[in-house]
């Protein structure tokens, strides 16, 4: 594992944004709104900070957020690197606690850590899935450049720019060390976890909280899902996007198990072996944890009608 | 153009094989620093732009300045504006300038627009005793003076200590006066590494000071700056060697996050040793320090004094600036 920890991945953005709009709201009113946002954030901060932690391991550092009373911490997969690693977690009051890494996934970059000791930990609430809406105000907390008691954890206020698949994009400026820290909405609930950045200061990427909720048990109990590990498992052969009922098929790989089973674009995948498909990552996890030639049962929605089909899985081409 | 295309530059090749395409939507124009928010800063925005100058040396912008007096007196960052001959106003007027005062403790400088009989605008200092705690909105002019940035205070108000120069070594835990202090670790690419020091080398003396304990070394180095030269006498096996070490920056030598420096682009040369700073996250660069930091209503709450990294700028708060400025204005 080369220094995965504390990595925020740089993405070079090339593009043009053309801007033209007319102000249609009173200036005074808008400034009042801004001050309202400030007030709201400042009233939430003391409570939110209690749940945010710094994470240290031998080869780097990151951030995280406690989400259960018994001390489960959400962070990024590239902060923990692998399952079963002993790590040190620093609480907001500076107290150091031993912790052990759980699972996660390289697909979404989601990861988990468990604090050790039978204590009741301060924790933050997670938002319901799909609650990260574009143009909503958001607050990023974390430890850029690592833990610094004099500076404290660092606040960034921004807006959600877009949400696509496992990724939320915001203009909350992040830096190495922020990875794994929480993105909150103005209700004080976690909507995302910091993951990657781009060269442009206003493009910052966070894992959706939905990625965690959808694959909770898997992340808790299994090894981290790596791209390497995907290679050996079963292969369906569809590209999807999240849809109202499940996952909408965008394209089907020629000669794949999906094509043989007659799956076509615009089909919606609802359940796999009776398990609801709410994220693309879940589909990948379920399929790749099977072996090539295993048979799965898929419930799909086609032209308004539900259908159940059997699919004999294939092998991922190298 | 509606779409943004992203080229992925993978710092860690194992990761992230998918390519994301994000659209630029209407609401992005309303995001922080977007068109809509800034439009609504209204008069505050005018105030900020009218009182911020860009300073030039040999045709290149090197810092910003903040007008504080109708005689064309303005503040800037002393170590960044050395040799500035001209300033440009936000309306594009170019004026000759000269330096009047300098304060090494805060890195503030007072300059003046020369050859001008004009009555210059000057900042309105924020009089309300607001706490400027985390989450408080602040604004400042963009490096090019064409825009105004909105950002928030992002960390605790605090003193920034002097960074000090480092060799990039770890000493053997056992302090034994008869054996001297030996090196347990020499960090790759550190000052010590470049000077040819090796693990197990024993430090006999530094600049003629006989070394008996590692504490002596820490005390001595605490007074030194990055770039300072040390003359070491070391014992390696049976040989005595004279070694010259040019001290490095602590943050560069030991930082786990060296890559953060790469991601961040150029930062201020002096970003340590300030009595008190406000931290904020406007997207500034190293040639835009010295400009004012304002409330959304355009009242000045500080002067930007250091760009630290991609998410961090330091500004000196008015409580630090006003006494110094008061003294300076008495002489002018």
pLDDT in tens, A65-123: 999 999 999 999 999 999 999 999 999 999 999 999 999 999 999 999 999 988 999 99
The architecture that CATH gives domain B165-246 is Roll (2.30)
pLDDT in tens, B120-129: 999 999 988 7
Any chain A CB within 8 A of the CB of B304?
no
Find residues 29-88 of chain B whose CB sits inside 8 Å of chain A: 29-37, 39-44
Inter-chain touch B296–A34, beta carbons under 8 Å: yes
Domains, chain A, in order of start with CATH, read 33-214 (2.40.10.120), 228-315 (2.30.42.10)
Encoded tokens for A121: 């930990």
Any chain A CB within 8 A of the CB of B279?
yes
Q: Between these two residues, A46 and B25, which has the higher pLDDT value?
A: A46
Q: Where are the domains of chain B?
A: 42-160+263-331, 165-246
Q: Looking at beta carbons, which residues of chain A come within 8 Å of B159?
A: 150
pLDDT at A192: 96
Q: Looking at beta carbons, which residues of chain A come within 8 Å of B135?
A: 38, 41-42, 45, 155, 157
- How far is it, in rounded angstroms, from Cα A119 to Cα B196? 50
- How far is it, in rounded angstroms, from Cα A22 to Cα A84? 55
| Reported CATH class of domain B42-160+263-331 | mainly beta
pLDDT at B46: 85
Distance of CA A7 to the CA centre of its chain: 15
Q: Where are the beta strands (DSSP E) in A124-274?
A: 137-142, 154-164, 167-170, 182-185, 190-198, 204-208, 234-235, 238-242, 247-252, 268-272
pLDDT at B178: 58
pTM: 0.82
Question: Which among B209, B224, B208 has a CA at the least distance from the CA of B167?
Answer: B224
Q: Lowest-pLDDT range, B6-20, B216-230, B311-325?
A: B6-20
Q: Which residues pair with B127 in a beta bridge?
A: none
Q: Looking at beta carbons, which residues of chain A come within 8 Å of B152?
A: 38, 41, 155-157
ipTM of the complex: 0.82
Q: Could you tell me the end-to-end alpha-carbon distance of chain A, in angstroms, rounded to an integer?
A: 22
Q: Looking at beta carbons, which residues of chain B come within 8 Å of A202?
A: 31, 33, 283
Inter-chain touch B263–A198, beta carbons under 8 Å: no
Placement of tokens 């007196």 in the chain: B73
The CA distances from residue A170 to A160, B59, B207, in Å, are: 4, 36, 52
């Amino acid at each position: 594992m080369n220094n995965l920890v504390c990595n925020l991945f740089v993405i070079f953005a090339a593009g043009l944004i053309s801007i033209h709009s007319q102000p249609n709201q009173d200036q005074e009113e808008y400034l009042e709104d801004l001050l309202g946002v400030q007030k709201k954030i400042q009233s939430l901060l003391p409570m939110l900070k209690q749940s945010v932690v710094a994470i240290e391991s031998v080869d780097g550092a990151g951030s995280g957020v406690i989400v259960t009373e018994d001390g489960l911490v959400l962070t990024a997969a590239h902060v923990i690197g692998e399952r079963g690693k002993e790590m040190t977690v620093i609480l907001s009051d500076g107290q150091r606690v031993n912790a052990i890494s759980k699972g996660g996934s390289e697909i979404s970059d989601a990861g988990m850590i468990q604090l050790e000791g039978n204590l009741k930990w301060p924790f933050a609430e997670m938002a319901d899935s799909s609650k990260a809406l574009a143009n909503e105000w958001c607050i990023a907390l974390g430890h850029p450049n690592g833990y610094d008691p004099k500076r404290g954890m660092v606040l960034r206020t921004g807006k959600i720019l877009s949400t696509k698949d496992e990724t939320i994009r915001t203009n909350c400026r992040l830096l190495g060390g922020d990875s794994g820290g929480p993105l909150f909405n103005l209700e004080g609930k976690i909507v995302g976890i910091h993951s990657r950045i781009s060269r442009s200061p206003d493009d910052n990427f966070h894992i959706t909280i939905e990625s965690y909720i959808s694959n909770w048990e898997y992340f808790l109990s299994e090894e981290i899902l790596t791209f390497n590990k995907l290679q050996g498992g079963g292969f369906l052969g569809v590209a999807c996007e999240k849809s109202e009922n499940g996952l909408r098929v965008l394209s089907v790989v020629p000669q794949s198990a999906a094509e043989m089973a007659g799956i076509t674009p615009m089909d919606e995948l609802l359940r796999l072996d009776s398990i609801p498909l709410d994220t693309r990552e879940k589909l990948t996890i379920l399929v790749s944890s099977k072996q090539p030639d295993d048979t799965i049962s898929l419930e799909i929605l086609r032209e308004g009608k539900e259908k159940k089909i059997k699919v004999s899985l294939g092998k991922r081409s190298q | 153009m509606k779409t943004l295309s992203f080229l992925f530059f993978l710092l860690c090749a194992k990761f992230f094989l998918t390519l994301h395409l994000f659209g630029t939507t209407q609401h992005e124009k309303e995001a922080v620093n977007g068109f809509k928010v800034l439009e609504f800063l209204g008069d505050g925005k005018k105030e900020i732009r009218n009182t911020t100058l860009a300073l030039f040396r040999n045709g290149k912008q090197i810092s910003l300045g903040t007008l504080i007096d109708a005689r064309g007196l303005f503040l800037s960052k002393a170590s960044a504006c050395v040799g500035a001959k001209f300033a440009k106003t936000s309306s594009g007027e170019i004026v000759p300038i000269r330096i009047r005062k300098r304060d090494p403790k805060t890195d503030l400088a007072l300059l003046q627009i020369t050859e001008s009989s004009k009555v210059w605008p000057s900042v309105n200092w924020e009089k309300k005793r607001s706490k400027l705690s985390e989450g408080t909105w602040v604004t400042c002019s963009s490096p090019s003076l064409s825009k105004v940035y909105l950002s928030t205070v992002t960390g605790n108000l605090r003193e920034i200590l002097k960074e000090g120069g480092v060799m990039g070594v770890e000493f053997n835990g056992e302090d034994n006066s008869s054996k001297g202090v030996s090196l347990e670790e020499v960090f790759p690419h550190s000052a010590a590494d470049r000077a040819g020091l090796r693990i197990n080398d024993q430090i006999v003396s530094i600049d003629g000071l006989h070394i008996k304990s590692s504490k002596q070394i820490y005390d001595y180095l605490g007074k030194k700056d990055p770039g300072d030269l040390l003359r070491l006498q070391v014992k390696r096996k049976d040989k005595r060697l004279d070694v010259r070490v040019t001290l490095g920056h602590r943050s560069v030598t030991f930082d786990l996050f060296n890559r953060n420096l790469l991601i961040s682009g150029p930062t201020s040369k002096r970003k340590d040793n300030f009595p008190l700073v406000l931290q904020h996250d406007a997207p500034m660069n190293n040639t835009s320090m010295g400009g004012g930091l304002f409330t959304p209503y355009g009242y000045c709450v500080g002067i930007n004094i250091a760009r630290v990294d991609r998410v961090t700028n330091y500004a000196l708060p008015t409580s630090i600036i006003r006494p110094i400025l008061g003294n300076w204005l008495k002489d002018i």
